[in-house]
């Protein structure tokens, strides 16, 4: 049977040295240590074994360097996936996990010609294999100016590099919509950017 030692205080022989415990100490259930009694430097925390919580694995960002126009007539489109629009800014990113999620943030000023309704989108992939993850419509009425600010997310399910981009697609009536613009055709810095975060879910 384990022995029980009942004391009010434990003190070193000289009354000033530290007390050394040679084995691990198990805290009884329901017992706590006052926060004011904890001093010293805590060890670095390793979150690799945490479960039930999201972990940021990597983050990549790219800024646009100028204005980008898209002139596709979108009135006949039932989807924006495919080889559409012109890339305003993009990042190439390789997933580090097959179970992680990409969260995408994209923003830019925009201008739309002809008082038309413009469209911009977040895409993954390139060429005919491009998939539109989200899009936003812009209204050019009167001042011909607005802006886009979008989010998107998806689970790649692999560890293959992918291009994720913000694109200027076009307008309902075939006019040009511009990203990185304060009015239709007026380039204005900052031109916008895209940020991609890989999160373990």
The count of other CB atoms within 10 Å of the CB of residue 174 is: 14
The count of other CB atoms within 10 Å of the CB of residue 102 is: 21
DSSP 19: P
Domain positions in the chain:
55-200
Hey, what CATH class is 55-200 in? mainly beta
Pairing state of beta strands 145-154 and 181-183? unpaired
Read off the pTM. Answer: 0.74
- The one-digit pLDDT tens for each residue of the chain (201 residues) are 567 778 888 888 887 788 887 888 787 787 888 877 777 777 776 666 666 667 999 999 999 999 999 999 999 999 999 999 999 999 999 999 999 999 999 999 998 888 899 999 999 999 999 999 999 998 866 556 778 999 999 999 999 999 999 999 999 999 999 999 988 788 999 999 999 999 998
């Amino acid at each position: 049977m384990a022995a029980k030692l009942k004391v009010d205080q434990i003190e070193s022989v000289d009354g000033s040295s530290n007390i050394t415990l040679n084995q691990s100490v198990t805290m009884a259930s329901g017992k706590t240590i006052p926060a004011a009694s904890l001093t010293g430097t805590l060890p670095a925390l390793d979150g690799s074994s945490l479960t039930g919580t999201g972990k940021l694995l990597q983050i990549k960002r790219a800024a646009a360097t100028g204005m980008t126009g898209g002139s596709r007539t979108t009135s006949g489109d039932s989807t924006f996936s495919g080889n559409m629009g012109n890339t305003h800014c993009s990042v190439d990113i390789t997933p580090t996990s097959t179970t992680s999620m990409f969260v995408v943030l994209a923003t830019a000023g925009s201008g739309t010609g002809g008082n038309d309704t413009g469209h911009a989108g977040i895409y993954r992939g390139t060429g005919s294999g491009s998939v539109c993850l989200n899009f936003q419509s812009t209204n050019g009425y009167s001042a011909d100016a607005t802006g886009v600010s979008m989010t998107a997310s998806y689970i790649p399910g692999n560890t293959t590099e992918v291009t994720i981009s913000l694109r200027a697609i076009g307008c309902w009536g075939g006019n040009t919509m511009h990203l990185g613009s304060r009015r239709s055709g007026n380039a204005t810095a900052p031109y916008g950017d895209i940020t991609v975060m890989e999160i373990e879910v």
